[in-house]
Structure 1
Amino acid sequence: MQLAAVVKAGGVVEGAALLGLTQPAVSRTLAMLEKRVGEPLFVKGRRPLQPTPLGRELAHHGMVVMSASRKASETIDSFRLGRSGVVRVGGTPYFMDGLIAGMAADFQSIHADIRIEQSYGYISDLKAGLTSGQLDLAICPIDLLDEGSGLVAEEILPGRNVIACRVTHPLLVPRKLKPSALLDYPWIAPPPTSPLLADLHSLLLSLGVTEAKIRYSGGSLMSVVNYLKGSDALTILPHSTVFSMRNDRSITALPLQIPHPERALVLMRLKEASAIPAVENFAKHIARRFEELRHLIKRHEQAVVWGG
């Protein structure tokens, strides 16, 4: 590297300055190198310094080393500043598809060198992924985090469900929507392991029944949305997920208050996990975006007359 710097700069003093070294130190290194190879590295008596063929070839290898060293330093700096790296995030499907994927794309428009590896799971799978080191972050709704779990959870959105339907659904026509009218239409059931399934059962109990006309179940968010768009079916979804699709004008929420789940959407991680800058930057971005979403949803709720 020192030989390459001298050849590139045209002199020992200049080459030493390029590397942040002193001229005597570089001169000693070059003398030791010449002694080691047993051949001169520079043509004697030439000013500025002119490398011999062997000196030029060795300097070429030195330039490769210099370039690799510079790239290594840039990689370290980028990692420390959270501008590069990998973020492994898992979460419940509806939230990941409806909200997190878009937030991840927004994040990467700023941090293009950070790779995000997304996976799906519910609470037990996500806890296992965090404790085994397979996940850095989990985004999911929880009721209460067990003491001694070794995990910490940051609330990013309070629990709030709505009844979703297509924007031209007949139940959107009446001025006063009667809750009993919900039972006149078919329903889409959430996936069996989703906490939304328990919320659907709570809703039915509040209506005085234990069963609804289930016509479709277990689909992804996109399949549920497409089914809603093509039918008069109803389903229960997080308000934030429905709100995020407001610009598509395909599905909406019935203006009807339903029982609130005793849970919140959280950002979960290992309590004793080593801080990885890229992960910290992504977590801050998600928390910030949800804070913005919280205010937008609140304004929307204040503008809607919710029945009950």
Structure 2
Amino acid sequence: MRLQHLHLLLTIAHTGSLRACAETLNVTQPALTKALKQLEEEFGTTLVIRSPKGVRLAPAGELLAARAATVVREIDRAREEVEWLTRHAQATVTVGVSPAAALMLAPQAVSRFQSRWPQVRVRLVDALYPTALAQLRSGELDLALGPLPATGLGRDLEARALIDSPEVIAVRAGHPLAKCRQLADLAGANWVLTGPVQGPGDPAHLQMERLGLPPPRITLECASFSTLLAVLPRMDAVALMPRRFFESHGPRTGLAVLPIADALPLTTIHLFLRTDSPLTVPTQRLVDAFVNEADALRGARS
């Protein structure tokens, strides 16, 4: 199997047409058909299903394409790293960051990194829990920062704990419950679930049942904290969010923090890496920058 075969399979998946695939790869359609036949003979199964509407990958083709995408990305990264090392060309590191990680770690870590490595382009991607890990596995991200999934990790990923992110309970300014000091006072409140279940915005983390209280009554679900900022100031609802996120956005959008005396949860921000792929030199340097920034923040708190 050659690299051209991998590009062939990925292009078929993208175009859904042998003719369009041939045009994209700048080969004749008979040559493409021959290469596809060779690939199917090598694997001993059908990889592409043809129909009057075009072509699509068979189940075996989809499995192979997923692996092919990773291989192609790794080869592209290898070329980029060699050019960066030998010709001082520009390299790119793509980082998935959760909202809390973006606020707590990214500004200083990226700034210091780029002052030391100006030829490296850093791409920060909003990557919400837990989709960031899927993007990391597929190779779309070089590393990711965010909370550890409740279900844990597989052997293909490594997690390094960096820093704790405290949570707060936020409401609109003037909310009838704005002066509540105990979780028990929120027993009848309407709650917002922000992001996925078990994510940082899930009020289930409050474990109100341990206080003999009913579980939070979820009346609204928001896909992201940005969406929450748009709707919470106009609702009589209660939401859990990272303290740094509130400090950056809450007051100017008309939100207030409840002065709850009970202990509130902490979300630990982790750094995630693939274990089956070596880090490029620029990626390792950026990992070091995030780790150093987390160490500095912990030292400032102590």
TM class by smaller structure: 0.5 to 0.7
Secondary structure, counterpart of 1:122 in structure 2: coil
Secondary structure, counterpart of 2:272 in structure 1: strand
* Cα displacement (A) at 1:140: 1.8
* Cα displacement (A) at 1:267: 0.4
Kindly report which structure 2 residues correspond to 1:37-52, keeping only aligned pairs within 5 A, or say none.
none
Aligned mates of 1:102, 1:147 — CA distance in 2: 27
Contact 1:150 1:272 survives alignment (8 Å): yes
Output one character per residue of 1:248-290: Cα deviation in whole Å (capped at 9) or x when no partner: 58545323234536x6210011235323232223223333333
Aligned mates of 1:104, 1:73 — CA distance in 2: 25
* Cα displacement (A) at 1:217: 1.6
Alignment-derived partner of residue 115 in structure 1: 122
TM-score by length of 1: 0.55
Secondary structure, counterpart of 1:222 in structure 2: helix
Contact 2:201 2:241 survives alignment (8 Å): no
Output one character per residue of 1:29-82: Cα deviation in whole Å (capped at 9) or x when no partner: xxxxxxxxxxxxxxxxxxxxxxxxxxxxxxxxxxxxxxxxxxx98873646xxx
Alignment-derived partner of residue 146 in structure 2: 140
Q: Which has the higher strand share?
A: 2
Q: Which ranges of structure 2 fall in alignment gaps of 5 or more residues?
A: 1-81
Alignment-derived partner of residue 94 in structure 2: 88
Q: Work out which of the residue numbers 286, 294, 298 in structure 2 matches 1:290.
A: 294
Kindly report which structure 2 residues correspond to 1:183-262, keeping only aligned pairs within 5 A, or say none.
183-193=187-197, 195-196=199-200, 198-200=202-204, 202-206=206-210, 208-212=213-217, 214=219, 216-245=220-249, 248=252, 250-256=254-260, 257-260=262-265
Kindly report which structure 2 residues correspond to 1:53-202, keeping only aligned pairs within 5 A, or say none.
76=86, 78=88, 84-92=90-98, 94-95=99-100, 98-99=103-104, 102=107, 106=111, 110=115, 112-113=118-119, 114-123=121-130, 125-142=131-148, 149-158=155-164, 160-166=166-172, 169-173=175-179, 177-193=181-197, 195-196=199-200, 198-200=202-204, 202=206
Q: Which amino acid aligns with 1:76?
A: T
Output one character per residue of 1:172-200: Cα deviation in whole Å (capped at 9) or x when no partner: 546xx232322354322112345236543
Aligned mates of 1:196, 1:73 — CA distance in 2: 40
TM-score by length of 2: 0.55
Q: Kindly tell me the number of residue pairs found equivalent between the two proteins.
A: 217
* Cα displacement (A) at 1:91: 4.0
Aligned mates of 1:131, 1:277 — CA distance in 2: 19
Q: Which amino acid aligns with 1:90?
A: G
Contact 1:88 1:116 survives alignment (8 Å): yes
Alignment-derived partner of residue 266 in structure 1: 270
Secondary structure, counterpart of 1:210 in structure 2: coil
Aligned mates of 2:240, 2:186 — CA distance in 1: 12
Alignment-derived partner of residue 15 in structure 2: none
Q: Which has the larger radius of gyration?
A: 1
* Root mean square deviation, CA, Å: 3.9
Q: Which amino acid aligns with 1:116?
A: R
Alignment-derived partner of residue 17 in structure 1: none
Secondary structure, counterpart of 2:283 in structure 1: helix
Q: Which ranges of structure 1 fall in alignment gaps of 5 or more residues?
A: 1-71, 300-308
User: Could you say if the C-alpha distance between residues 251 and 279 of structure 1 is closer, same or farther in structure 2, counting changes exceeding 3 Å?
Assistant: farther
Aligned mates of 1:109, 1:248 — CA distance in 2: 30
User: Could you say if the C-alpha distance between residues 197 and 239 of structure 1 is closer, same or farther in structure 2, counting changes exceeding 3 Å?
Assistant: closer
* Cα displacement (A) at 1:222: 1.9
User: Could you say if the C-alpha distance between residues 103 and 167 of structure 1 is closer, same or farther in structure 2, counting changes exceeding 3 Å?
Assistant: farther
